[in-house]
Amino acid sequence: MKLTGNEILITGGTSGIGLALATNLLEKGNQVVVLGRRQDKLAAVQVQHPKLLTFQADVGQPESLQPLLTWLPAHLPKLNMVINSAGIMQPHDLLDPHLTLTALTADIQINLMGTIAVDQLLLPQLLAQEEAMIVNVSSGLAYLSSAPHPTYSASKAGVHMFTSALREQLTYADKNQVHVLELVPPLVSETGLQSGDLAGSFGNMKLADLVEVTLKGMAQNKPRINAGAAKILQKMEQIMPNQAEKMIAKDSLKQFFPEGL
């Protein structure tokens, strides 16, 4: 797929991977709207990048997305690319009796349900285009669970499965003009998704390198981009899943719960 002259919506576009992709695609001559929850962050991004469009909505609250259906025809009438990058990652002590279900499932609501909601809402618009693309961002932790982040891993595994199912349904319906790509990043400490100093951690990938790999894969219509150490995590899941998860858990649980559970 060509990466110029497109009309693109990016969720989670005020920071991290979403913002990095937004600014790079804007420079390539695309029209880009970034969607985010907080108006102050959207305003700050627009000050830095005046050519970016912004839209306030919370993918974790599907009803807030409905105004897009009337906003898009006036601003991006030929929307042909959606990148689902909105996400959160929270550690949870599953043994904590005070842990609420709302807190526990927030990652699922935003990461998985938000992705599903955006794809479902905008798929008719994408199907009407000569060529279109959906990019859903999962994680290397969709392959191997992170013990401190049980619902983050569950949400990204769900994104992985949903993306594959969406791709196959479009193929079965002979709607191959809509390319469906799963971006599987490793740890990218620059995004600040996880707390703490993780720059020296295993598999940490520079954000600029991730963007470069992603844009290359998009141009090639790849179904899946296992970026950096995500390739290793996928291989470990295939050949030694139990041992790998125990190894990851041993270090990560001590990092996030140093006083125990």
Q: What is the DSSP string of 40-57?
A: HHHHHHHHH-TT-EEEE-
Tokens found for residue 195? 């707390």
Catalytic residue (choose from 20, 152, 191, 194): 152
**How many whole angstroms separate alpha carbon 86 and alpha carbon 35?**
9
The burial of 62, by beta-carbon neighbours within 10 Å (0-12 exposed, 13-18 middle, 19 or more buried), is given as: middle
Whole-angstrom CA distances from 212 to 27, 65, 76, 208, 261 are 13, 29, 25, 6, 40
Residue 75: closest CA among 87, 83, 67:
67
Which tokens in the block code for residue 26?
């804007």
From residue 25, give the alpha-carbon distance in Å to each of 81, 115, 170, 198, 239. 11, 20, 25, 27, 37
- Crossing angle for the helix pair 68-75 and 114-127, nearest 10 degrees? 40
Determine the Cα angle at 163 with ends 121 and 14, to 5°: 65
163, amino acid identity: T
Q: Which of 56, 257, 16 is nearest to 146 (CA)?
A: 257
From start to end of 85-185, where are the E strands? 132-137, 178-184
Catalytic status, residue 152: yes
CA atoms of 143 and 220, how far apart (whole Å): 24
Q: Residues with catalytic annotation?
A: 152
